[in-house]
């Protein structure tokens, strides 16, 4: 054997016997509003190269839950990537009340920074701790490249943490992928080139047709039914759908509510891999991808609709397309991937409560609380806000009136419990003063409570009651501590991941700890999760 052949054999053997110590790329996939049962209920219509590939070849945790309320997009993304709950990371909801300004604030709004490619002003500044993506950057003095992408701004910004090289999201006013001056001074040329292709406008001209014959959708309710909206102004609720009847200036917005919204993201992910050379460096890079169209469609049509089933059949092929990109550009076995969701969703309330209406009106509740405060303490101005199932009181006014805040809160809880039987739980902030959130699900409300940003009284409805959604197109929602909102898929795949199915209870906050342990880096600063996968022996 020649010396050169001997060296090649030696190198090959070393690679086989002593695998690389870290993957070339970590890929985080969050599918907005994906219930766990979608993996199995729609499986007969999936191919072999998308969800099924991840389930067969990866680690499938079948009993993964969120362990806090409120289960919404921003809190879900933040919790997955920080490995902790809103108690520590501070993103208690998509919007939350700010006592200093007396107004609602959006979770990623930051007017110190300007939009690039659009008019949004955004940053991750409201995060109160680090993310797993931050920890990867910190582990090697910023050599790793972190790119986060999503249709929604919050779904891109929060996973990237505070140290991301870039976060990009879709701006429906012009169909661009945009970013913020928090990350850069100008969009890269490749992003401008991608935007110049005007793919969203081309997709908006396409019809949304079924992927399979209608008889294949046997696990869904009838396509035409009274519980669904005529969202596309077609005079019906059944397929096919199109944007032909939508005003021209709204079509790029409505595109998000079709499966082609997800396709735009897959297209952009390919451009990211090509132009940022992710997975081609001497240290691991990180690509965070969050699909949002599933949430827009799910709110409108619910989990039993033909629309949501077809969305997931199409998403299955889009996941397969993304996996093929990763295989081709990074190499099968060279990337470590996880897939989960930021929350699930309830059935359409009318499907369940066919005999009586079990809805809860925030307006009526707020009016009743104001009236109680007026009769008990002389003024309704003690009421500051009601949002995210939390009552906020005016602390300055209580001090001026020399009221005992603990007494006000206690009496308010007694009033709520006595007058609103649909409210199952009601706690005052005083209940949490000497308590700290934990990994377990003993107290979902405590885990979702933040000492700085949360309200004076926190409530939770009964499992069979739902918030009144008003007269818009939405037919269902999420945000509770119940299984229909907390049980989500959790799949790990690729580098270092064994093929296995695990049925024991785990939590989505365990994802960051698992990735950190596999990479041999520090977990996020406020992490509460634990590693779920044993590192393969070397």
Are 450 and 485 part of one and the same domain? no
Judgement on whether residues 318 and 396 belong to the same structural domain of the protein: no
Question: Is 314 in the same domain as 373?
Answer: no
Q: pLDDT tens-digit profile of 430-468?
A: 999 999 999 987 899 999 999 999 999 999 999 999 998
DSSP-assigned states of every residue in 143-156:
-S-EEEEESSHHHH
pLDDT value of position 170: 98
Is residue 52 situated within a structural domain?
Answer: yes
Q: Which two tokens stand for residue 276?
A: 């940022």
What's the rounded Cα separation, in Å, for the pair 442 and 427? 15
User: What pTM was estimated for this model as a whole?
Assistant: 0.95
537 within domain boundaries: no
State both tokens at 126. 């409201």
Close Cβ partners of 100 (under 8 Å, ≥ 6 residues apart): none
In a domain, 67, yes or no: yes
Residue 227 and residue 363 in one domain: no
Please state, in angstroms and rounded to a whole number, the distance separating the CA atoms of residues 324 and 234.
36
Give every CB contact of residue 381 below 8 A, 6+ residues apart in sequence. Answer: 394, 397
Distance CA 243, CA 230 (A): 12
Same structural domain for residues 26 and 72? yes
Residues 55 and 144 occupy one common structural domain: yes
Write out the residue range of the structural domain in which residue 433 sits: 359-421+423-461
The domain total for the chain is 2
Q: How far apart are CA 479 and CA 304, in angstroms?
A: 18
Residues 6+ apart with CB under 8 A from 66: 76, 79, 343, 485, 486, 488, 507, 508
* Both structure tokens of 479: 């945000």
**How many other C-beta atoms can be found within 10 angstroms of the C-beta atom of residue 266?**
18
Tokens of 209: 């047709």
Q: Residue 102: count other Cβ atoms within 10 Å of its Cβ.
A: 11
- Asked if 314 and 212 sit in the same domain, the reply is yes
Q: What CATH number is given to the structural domain containing 205?
A: 3.40.720.10
**pLDDT per position as a tens digit, 390-424:** 999 999 999 999 999 999 999 999 999 999 999 99
Hey, which residues does 357 pair with through a beta bridge?
A: none
Q: Flag whether 431 is in a domain.
A: yes
367/444 same-domain check: yes
Is the preceding peptide bond at 66 cis, omega within 30 degrees of 0?
Answer: no
Residue 267 belongs to what H/E stretch?
A: helix 260-276
Specify the pLDDT at position 355. Answer: 63
Same domain, yes or no: 303 and 442:
no
Could you tell me the two tokens for 19? 């695998």
Q: Is residue 3 part of a domain?
A: no
- Going across the sheet that includes 25-31, the strands are 115-116, 176-180, 166-171, 146-150, 285-291, 25-31, 335-340, 490-494, 59-61, 500-502
Q: Would you say residue 84 lies in a domain? A: yes
Per the DSSP assignment, residues forming a β-bridge with 338 are 28, 492
Please report the pLDDT score of residue 354 as a whole number: 63
Sheet of 506-507: strand order equals 487-488, 64-65, 506-507
Of 353, 316, 219, 304, the residue nearest 35 (C-alpha): 304
Q: Quick check: helix, strand or coil at residue 120? A: coil
The two three-digit tokens of residue 471, written as one number: 């007269």
Q: For residues 75 and 195, state if they share a domain.
A: yes
Cα distance between residue 76 and residue 446, in whole Å: 16
The CATH number of residue 431's host domain is 3.30.1360.150
Q: Exactly one of 70, 73, 82, 508 is catalytic; name it.
A: 73
Residue 183 lies in a domain: yes
Nearest Cα to Cα of residue 169 among 323, 24, 290: 290
Q: Which helix (H) or strand (E) segment is 103 a member of?
A: strand 103-106
Pair 114, 197 in one domain:
yes
**Which two tokens mark 340?**
């989960």
Beta carbons within 8 Å of 208's beta carbon, 6+ residues apart:
239, 240, 241, 242, 258, 259, 260, 310
Q: Which pLDDT tens digit goes with each residue over 470-513?
A: 878 999 999 999 999 999 999 999 999 999 999 999 999 999 99
Packed helices 293-301 and 306-329: angle between N→C axes, nearest 10 degrees: 170
**Quick check: is 73 catalytic?**
yes
480: three-class secondary structure by DSSP: coil
Residue 160 CB neighbour total at 10 angstroms = 29
Is residue 224 assigned to a domain? yes
Interacting residues of 481 by C-beta distance below 8 A, sequence separation 6+: 68, 69, 71, 444, 445, 460
- Of 227, 224, 226, 262, nearest to 241 (Cα)? 224
Task: Report mean pLDDT in 10-residue bins for the chain, 538 residues.
Answer: 43 43 97 98 98 98 98 98 98 97 97 98 98 98 98 98 98 98 98 98 98 96 94 97 98 98 98 98 97 98 97 98 98 98 94 77 97 98 98 98 98 98 96 94 93 98 91 93 97 98 98 98 98 76
- Are residues 71 and 203 both part of a single domain? yes
């Amino acid at each position: 054997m020649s010396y050169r052949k001997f060296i090649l054999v030696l190198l090959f053997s070393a690679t086989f016997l002593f695998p690389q110590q870290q993957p070339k790329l970590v890929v985080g996939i969050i599918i907005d509003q994906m219930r766990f049962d979608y993996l199995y209920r729609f499986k007969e219509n999936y191919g072999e190269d998308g969800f099924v590939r991840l389930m067969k070849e990866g680690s499938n945790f079948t009993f993964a839950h969120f362990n806090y309320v409120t289960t919404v997009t921003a809190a879900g993304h933040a919790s997955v990537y920080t490995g902790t709950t809103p108690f520590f990371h501070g993103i208690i909801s998509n919007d939350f009340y700010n006592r200093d300004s007396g107004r609602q604030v959006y979770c990623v709004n930051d007017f110190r920074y300007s939009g690039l490619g659009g008019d949004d002003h955004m940053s991750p500044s409201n995060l109160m701790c680090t993310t797993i993506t931050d920890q990867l950057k910190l582990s090697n003095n910023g050599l790793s490249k972190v790119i986060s992408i999503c249709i929604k701004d919050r779904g891109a910004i929060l996973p990237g943490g505070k140290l991301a090289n870039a976060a990009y999201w879709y701006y429906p006013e012009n169909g661009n992928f945009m970013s913020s001056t928090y990350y850069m001074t100008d969009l890269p040329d490749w992003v401008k080139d991608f935007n110049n292709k005007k793919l969203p406008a081309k997709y908006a001209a396409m019809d949304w047709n079924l992927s399979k014959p209608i008889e294949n959708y046997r696990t869904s309710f009838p396509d035409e039914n009274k519980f669904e909206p005529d969202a596309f102004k077609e005079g019906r609720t059944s397929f096919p759908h199109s944007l032909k009847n939508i005003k021209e200036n709204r079509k790029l917005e409505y595109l998000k509510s079709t499966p082609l919204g997800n396709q735009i993201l897959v297209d952009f992910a390919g451009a990211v891999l090509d132009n940022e050379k992710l997975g081609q460096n001497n240290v691991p890079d990180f690509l965070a991808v969050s699909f949002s169209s599933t949430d827009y469609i799910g709110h409108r049509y619910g989990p039993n609709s033909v629309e949501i089933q077809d969305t997931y059949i199409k998403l299955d092929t889009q996941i397969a397309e993304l996996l093929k990109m990763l295989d081709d550009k990074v190499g099968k076995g060279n990337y470590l991937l996880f897939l989960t969701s930021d929350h699930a969703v309830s059935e359409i309330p009318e499907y369940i409560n066919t005999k009586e209406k079990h809805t809860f009106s925030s307006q009526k509740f707020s009016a009743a609380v104001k009236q109680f405060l007026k009769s008990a303490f002389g003024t309704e101005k003690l009421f500051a806000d009601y949002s995210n199932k939390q009552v906020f009181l005016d602390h300055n006014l209580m001090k001026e009136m020399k009221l005992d805040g603990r007494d006000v809160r206690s009496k308010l809880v007694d009033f709520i419990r006595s007058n609103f039987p649909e409210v199952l739980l009601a706690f005052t902030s005083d209940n949490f003063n000497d308590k700290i959130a934990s990994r377990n699900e003993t107290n979902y409300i405590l885990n979702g409570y933040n000492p700085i940003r949360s309200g004076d009284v926190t409530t939770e409805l009964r499992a069979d009651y739902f918030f009144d959604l008003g007269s818009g197109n939405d037919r269902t929602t999420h945000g509770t501590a119940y299984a229909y909102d907390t049980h989500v898929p959790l799949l790990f795949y690729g580098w270092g991941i064994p093929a296995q199915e695990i049925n024991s209870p785990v939590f989505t906050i365990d994802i960051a700890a698992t990735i950190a342990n596999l990479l041999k880096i520090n977990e996020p600063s406020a992490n509460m999760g634990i590693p779920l996968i044993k590192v393969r022996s070397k």
